[in-house]
């Protein structure tokens, strides 16, 4: 995977190969547009990037090779200018992900949704506000060493799941695709709308972040505050984000931990918080890392870092709020997940220009 991704990235950034050979028909590939126009186009549906006047055309051709950008044609229409994706184009990407999620049910608890949510989070959660490095802009988890960081074990399933989507919509960057997939997965699993905007660019292997930026599940409240504080989150936001553990499960061959957090791991809900508050959690007796299991059924689990949310007073007040009121959790989770996916991204568009995608029927 890493080698394949690396060669793709090489193609994208190499002047002589800006007309990329890829899985789409040759007739769809046109000369490139200058990077700035493409970027403006991504940033706003009505941006100046739609211009195809002679001047820009000429400069565009000259600069295109270096920029690694390209035109792209929809269907059979004659080209009138550079392909500038609109909200409708991104909705098509969303729809493709939603269709794949609905069709590929032979995985884990029946959905790739949870692992997509985790991919978007791990791509974004490397952000460091002091150095303004890391974050979703770059999709550097395409490369080793980042793909082989212990915290990212298992995320190859999510990256591979999205490869056919990238092949069908080659104009979208991996960084935009992975975050859009996170937003789509939350919505498709019954969660709140996650407004999303494009504008991320894929970076090269040198932009990989060092190991150790993502949280360690065996640690306590101090570690959670350190790691999420480095990203720029406060207590309330940290708790809301970790509520995504309503989804999915831990795997012994990935993190070493085992089991789901609740009885509906493919439905976004406030169950994680309700169970944290209402259940009694005992340390599991097993030949594995310290984790907790529910007294009632011994089938669910909590990580030490999850239990830290009810041991710490500052965190616990939010756990209780979210356990009591699912609407409040949905709203506050949506806001903070949007913030997470945008950390460190130099958008040219405004927050109010975010797209709200239609969830599938
Ligand atoms: C203290 C912070 C966190 C720690 C220590 C942590 C740790 C973990 C661990 C150990 C797993 C199991 C991985 C596996 O074995 O497959 C996991 C899964 C997961 N995490 Fe977190 N996590 C944290 C925060 C978050 C946040 C902020 C999100 C999203 C906003 C998130 C979303 C998920 C999801 C959806 C899964 C399930 C993945 C699957 O089913 O494959 N986590 N997390």
- Verify whether ligand 1 is closer than 6 Å to residue 165 (CB atom): no
Burial 87-110 (b: 16+ CB within 10 A, else e): bebbebbbebbbebbeeeeeebee
pLDDT beyond 60 at 10: no
Q: What percent of the chain has pLDDT over 90?
A: 77
CATH superfamily of 221-335: Peroxidase, domain 2 (1.10.420.10)
pLDDT beyond 80 at 125: yes
| Burial of 189 per CB tally in 10 Å (0-12, 13-18, 19+) | buried
Among 227, 255, 231, which residue's Cα sits nearest to residue 124?
A: 231
- Verify whether ligand 1 is closer than 6 Å to residue 255 (CB atom): yes
Task: Say which CATH topology domain 2-214 has.
Answer: Peroxidase; domain 1 (1.10.520)
- Verify whether ligand 1 is closer than 6 Å to residue 323 (CB atom): no
Question: So what's the pLDDT on residue 361?
Answer: 87
* Residue ID of nearest Cα to ligand 1 atom 18: 250
- Verify whether ligand 1 is closer than 6 Å to residue 247 (CB atom): yes
Question: So what's the pLDDT on residue 82?
Answer: 84
Atom in ligand 1 nearest the alpha carbon of residue 117:
35
Annotated domain spans of the chain: 2-214, 221-335
Question: So what's the pLDDT on residue 60?
Answer: 38
* Residue ID of nearest Cα to ligand 1 atom 29: 244
Question: So what's the pLDDT on residue 92?
Answer: 98
* Residue ID of nearest Cα to ligand 1 atom 30: 241
- Verify whether ligand 1 is closer than 6 Å to residue 338 (CB atom): no
Question: So what's the pLDDT on residue 81?
Answer: 80
DSSP 72: E
For the ranges 68-82, 178-192, 216-230, 282-296, the lowest mean pLDDT is seen at 68-82
Mean pLDDT score, 255-264 = 98
- Band of residue 269 on the pLDDT scale cut at 50, 70, 90: very high
Among 208, 138, 173, which residue's Cα sits nearest to residue 39?
A: 173
Q: What percent of the chain has pLDDT over 70?
A: 78
164: Cβ–Cβ under 8 A, 6 or more apart, which residues?
100
pLDDT beyond 80 at 7: no
The DSSP secondary structure of 22-64, one letter per residue, reads -SS-GGGEE----HHHHHHHHH-TTSGGG---HHHHHHHHHHH
Give the mutation target among 244, 272, 289, 340 for probing the ligand 1 site: most ligand atoms within 8 A of CB. 244
* Torsion (CA) 295, 220, 209, 201 in degrees, nearest 10: 60
CA distance 43 to 200: 10
CA distance 247 to 114: 5
Atom in ligand 1 nearest the alpha carbon of residue 340:
30
For the ranges 13-27, 110-124, 222-236, 344-358, the lowest mean pLDDT is seen at 13-27
pLDDT beyond 80 at 234: yes
pLDDT beyond 50 at 232: yes
For the ranges 29-43, 191-205, 227-241, the lowest mean pLDDT is seen at 29-43
pLDDT beyond 70 at 152: yes
Catalytic residue numbers read: 122, 261
The neighbouring-strand residues paired with 196 are: 355
pLDDT tens digits for 284-325? 999 999 999 999 999 999 999 999 999 999 999 999 999 999
CA distance 170 to 206: 23
Cα(255) to centroid(ligand 1), Å = 9
Give the Cβ contact number of residue 226 at 10 Å: 11
pLDDT tens digits for 156-189? 999 999 999 999 999 999 999 999 999 999 999 9
pLDDT beyond 80 at 266: yes
């Amino acid at each position: 995977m890493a080698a394949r991704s690396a060669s793709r990235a090489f193609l994208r950034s190499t002047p002589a190969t800006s007309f990329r050979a890829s899985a789409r028909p040759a007739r769809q590939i046109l000369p490139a547009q200058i990077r700035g126009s493409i970027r403006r186009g991504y940033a706003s549906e009505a941006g100046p990037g739609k211009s195809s006047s002679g001047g820009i055309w000429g400069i565009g051709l000259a600069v295109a090779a270096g920029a690694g950008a390209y035109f792209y044609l929809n269907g059979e229409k004659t080209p009138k200018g550079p392909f500038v994706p609109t909200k409708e184009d991104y909705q098509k990407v969303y729809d493709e992900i939603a269709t794949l999620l609905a069709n590929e049910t032979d995985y884990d608890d029946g959905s790739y949704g949870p692992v997509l949510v985790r991919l978007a989070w791990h791509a974004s959660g490397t952000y460091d506000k002091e150095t303004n490095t890391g974050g979703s802009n770059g999709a550097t988890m395409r490369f080793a060493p980042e793909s082989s960081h212990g915290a990212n074990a298992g995320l190859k399933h999510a990256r591979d799941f999205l490869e056919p989507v990238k092949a069908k919509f080659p104009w979208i960057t991996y960084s935009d695709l992975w975050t859009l997939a996170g937003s789509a997965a939350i919505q498709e699993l019954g969660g709140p709308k996650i407004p999303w905007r494009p504008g991320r660019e894929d970076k090269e292997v040198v932009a990989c972040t060092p190991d150790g930026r993502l949280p360690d599940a065996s640690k306590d409240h101090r570690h959670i505050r350190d790691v999420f504080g480095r990203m720029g989150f406060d207590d309330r936001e940290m708790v809301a984000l970790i509520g995504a553990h309503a989804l999915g499960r831990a795997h012994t061959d990935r993190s070493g931990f085992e089991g789901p957090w609740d009885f509906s791991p493919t439905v976004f809900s406030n169950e994680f918080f309700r169970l944290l508050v209402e259940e009694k959690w005992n340390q599991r007796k097993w030949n594995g890392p310290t984790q907790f299991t529910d007294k009632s059924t011994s089938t669910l689990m909590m990580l030490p870092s999850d239990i830290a949310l009810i041991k710490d007073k500052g965190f616990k007040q939010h756990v209780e709020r979210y356990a009591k009121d699912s609407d409040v959790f949905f709203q506050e989770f949506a806001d903070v997940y949007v913030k997470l996916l945008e950390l460190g991204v130099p958008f040219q568009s405004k927050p109010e220009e975010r797209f709200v995608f239609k969830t599938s029927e």
